[in-house]
Amino acid sequence: MVKSVYVDNAATTAMSDRAIEAMIPYLKEVYGNPSSLHTVGQVAKEALFGARQKIADLIGATVNDKISEIYFTSGGSEADNQAIRSAAYAGLAKGKKHVISTTFEHHAVLHTLKKLEKEGFEVTYLDVHSYGNITAAEVEAAIRPDTALVTVMYANNEVGSVLPIREIGAVCRAKKVIFHTDAVQAVGHLPVNVVEDNIDMLSASAHKFHGPKGVGFLYCRTGVPLKSLIEGGAQERKRRAGTENIAGVCAMASALEEAVSNLDKNMKKQAAMRDRLIAGLSKIPHSKLNGDTKNRLPGNVNMCFEGTEGESLLLHLDAKGICASSGSACTTASLEPSHVLLALGIPHEIAHGSLRISLSEENTEEEIDYLLEQVPVAVDEVRAVSCLWDDLKNGKREHLI
Ligand SMILES: *Cc1c(COP(=O)(O)O)cnc(C)c1O
């Protein structure tokens, strides 16, 4: 049997046993609707409140009888859409039609911004440079009197850059501009505190930290306006209609609690495995590490191998039981390489040959050994049938890396 090594944790993670167990009571006996007045409903309502409070505590937000800064959503995408639209329209009401972001955000952010541009907003996309990061000074320089919102991701899902969120938050606070961060790759993976990090709005998703899919949350600081995207009932303090996903929310709270309590240990373990992978795979001729070498997610490796094509590489790896990802989102026959790699200025023909390995604390040193042995084999296999590699070998084309 081919052994299976799952290293695509930036796409999604396996649920932890604790998160699954936390879910079960709310699928079985505690099935009530929290809006119901009877006992079965009220028990569900208490569970919802408990989960909200737990999540707030874990990220430094406030939830009590009077205040609630945590809004449950269907995931990271919804939270991003809601935060960005809310802040943009709140700005518009004051005549502000400018938004600042970066070129390498997740599509949940970029596509929302594209829609806003069609509606008449102007968006400045900050360049992320060849090393895949920005500075707070660059954000500050882009802020104008009509800037309604700055939305910058906490950590990039493809190349793993960790952005200077605390400094960017401080700049936005000083200039009185709303600051949203897509922290889907950071929450449960890095120390995140919304107060210390000067964050006004933050998006997170359970399935990226060993919780279930289809549930996430939006932190919205008290006083920052939040509009509903969905019309209906009065759930989530009238900010998100629809009967709550109690089982999902309770599992998410439990998964986050587990992730945060093991944070230091998990970060160290992943970083050690990451660094071993980077050192080993960098020995492959004509390879290159993408992204920020210093400020990098502990579980992220993203490399380009010249003369390969990401999808063939993934298929060869899959045949060896390795589940990884290409930097590119083109699982379909799209010819466009990843917008993130292009944002880093990587040429098309190299960006096509990318590999993202995203680790979890569940991965083992034995699995890293296996990757170090098998990835070079897969690269050779793909190069062996590549016309591009032939041309490079025969000197018909110049090596770019
Ligand atoms: C996965 C991801 C999202 C989307 O979250 P979903 O819960 O899958 O909708 C948004 N932003 C980033 C950075 C992500 O990695």
- The backbone torsions φ and ψ at residue 377, rounded to the nearest 5 degrees and listed phi first, read -65, -45
Spell out the long-range contacts of 237-241 with Cβ–Cβ below 8 A and sequence spacing 24 or more.
Answer: 237/68, 237/71, 239/71, 239/82, 240/71, 240/72, 240/73, 240/82
Same domain as 317, residue 370: yes
Contact 125, 103 (CB under 8 A): yes
pLDDT value, residue 242: 93
Nearest to 221 by CA among 181, 162, 257: 181
The answer on pLDDT for 119 being more than 50 is yes
b (16+ CB within 10 A) / e for 183-212: bbbbbbbbebebeebbbbbbbbbbbbbbbb
Residue 371's CATH number? 3.90.1150.10
Spell out the long-range contacts of 20-29 with Cβ–Cβ below 8 A and sequence spacing 24 or more.
Answer: 20/251, 21/254, 22/250, 22/251, 22/253, 22/254, 22/255, 23/212, 23/247, 23/248, 23/250, 23/251, 24/247, 25/250, 26/246, 26/247, 26/250, 27/247
User: How far apart are the CA of 76 and the centre of ligand 1, in A?
Assistant: 5
The per-residue DSSP string of 7-21 comes to: -BTTT--PPPHHHHH
The answer on pLDDT for 336 being more than 90 is no
Task: Give the separation between CA 226 and CA 230, rounded to whole angstroms.
Answer: 12
| Mutate which of 106, 128, 203, 217 for ligand 1 pocket (most atoms within 8 A of beta carbon) | 106
Contact 61, 256 (CB under 8 A): no
The 10 Å Cβ neighbour count of residue 76 is 27
The answer on pLDDT for 2 being more than 70 is no
Q: How far is CA 253 from CA 11, 61, 77, in A?
A: 20, 14, 18
The answer on pLDDT for 1 being more than 90 is no
| Mutate which of 153, 185, 325 for ligand 1 pocket (most atoms within 8 A of beta carbon) | 185
Residue 398 lies in a domain: no
User: How far apart are the CA of 160 and the centre of ligand 1, in A?
Assistant: 14
Supply the residues annotated as catalytic. 330
Element of type H or E holding 173: helix 165-175
Examine the fold and report which residue of 227, 261, 295 is the final residue of a domain before the chain moves on: 261
Residue 401 lies in a domain: no
pLDDT value, residue 334: 56
Atom of ligand 1 nearest to the CA of 207: 7
Task: Give the separation between CA 198 and CA 173, rounded to whole angstroms.
Answer: 7
Residue 327 lies in a domain: yes
Same domain as 348, residue 269: yes
pLDDT value, residue 331: 46
Nearest to 228 by CA among 115, 111, 78: 78
The single-letter code of the amino acid at 290 is N
The answer on pLDDT for 9 being more than 60 is yes
Residue 75 lies in a domain: yes
Examine the fold and report which residue of 261, 285, 305 is the final residue of a domain before the chain moves on: 261
Same domain as 190, residue 322: no
Beta strand 98-102 pairing with 147-151: parallel
Structure tokens at 254: 């439990």
Same domain as 268, residue 237: no
Q: Which residue's CA is the nearest one to ligand 1's atom 12?
A: 184
pLDDT digits (tens, 9 = 90+) for 278-334: 999 999 999 999 998 899 999 999 999 999 999 999 999 999 999 999 865 544 445
pLDDT value, residue 185: 98
Same domain as 255, residue 131: yes
Helix/strand/coil percent split, the chain, to 5: 40, 15, 45
Same domain as 104, residue 219: yes
Q: Which segments of 57-121 are extended strands (E)?
A: 70-73, 98-102
Q: How far is CA 322 from CA 229, 316, 360, 374, in A?
A: 39, 9, 14, 9
pLDDT value, residue 6: 98
pLDDT value, residue 323: 97
- The backbone torsions φ and ψ at residue 163, rounded to the nearest 5 degrees and listed phi first, read -90, 155
Same domain as 268, residue 240: no
Same domain as 134, residue 115: yes
pLDDT value, residue 285: 96
Number of domains in the chain: 2
pLDDT value, residue 295: 97
Residue 250's CATH number? 3.40.640.10
Residue 400 lies in a domain: no
Task: Give the separation between CA 205 and CA 383, rounded to whole angstroms.
Answer: 37
Q: Percent of the chain beyond pLDDT 90?
A: 89
343: three-class secondary structure by DSSP: helix
Same domain as 301, residue 244: no
pLDDT value, residue 129: 97
Q: Percent of the chain beyond pLDDT 70?
A: 97
Domain span at residue 286?
A: 5-13+263-393
Ligand 1 binding site (Cβ under 6 Å of any ligand atom) = 75-77, 80, 106, 108, 153, 157, 182, 184-185, 205, 208, 216
Residue 399 lies in a domain: no
User: How far apart are the CA of 384 and the centre of ligand 1, in A?
Assistant: 35
Same domain as 187, residue 115: yes
Average pLDDT of the residues in 250-257: 98
Examine the fold and report which residue of 213, 243, 261 is the final residue of a domain before the chain moves on: 261
Contact 335, 352 (CB under 8 A): no
User: How far apart are the CA of 59 and the centre of ligand 1, in A?
Assistant: 18
User: How far apart are the CA of 182 and the centre of ligand 1, in A?
Assistant: 8
Task: Give the separation between CA 367 and CA 126, rounded to whole angstroms.
Answer: 37
Same domain as 251, residue 229: yes
Report the residue count for the chain: 401
Same domain as 307, residue 288: yes
353 or 168: which leads in pLDDT: 168
Residue 234 lies in a domain: yes
The answer on pLDDT for 93 being more than 80 is yes
Residue 77 lies in a domain: yes
Structure tokens at 205: 């998703």
pLDDT digits (tens, 9 = 90+) for 188-227: 999 999 999 999 999 999 999 999 999 999 999 999 999 9
Atom of ligand 1 nearest to the CA of 108: 10
Element of type H or E holding 56: helix 39-59
Average pLDDT of the residues in 364-380: 97
pLDDT digits (tens, 9 = 90+) for 19-64: 999 999 999 999 999 999 999 999 999 999 999 999 999 999 999 9
Task: Give the separation between CA 152 and CA 148, rounded to whole angstroms.
Answer: 13
Average pLDDT of the residues in 139-160: 98
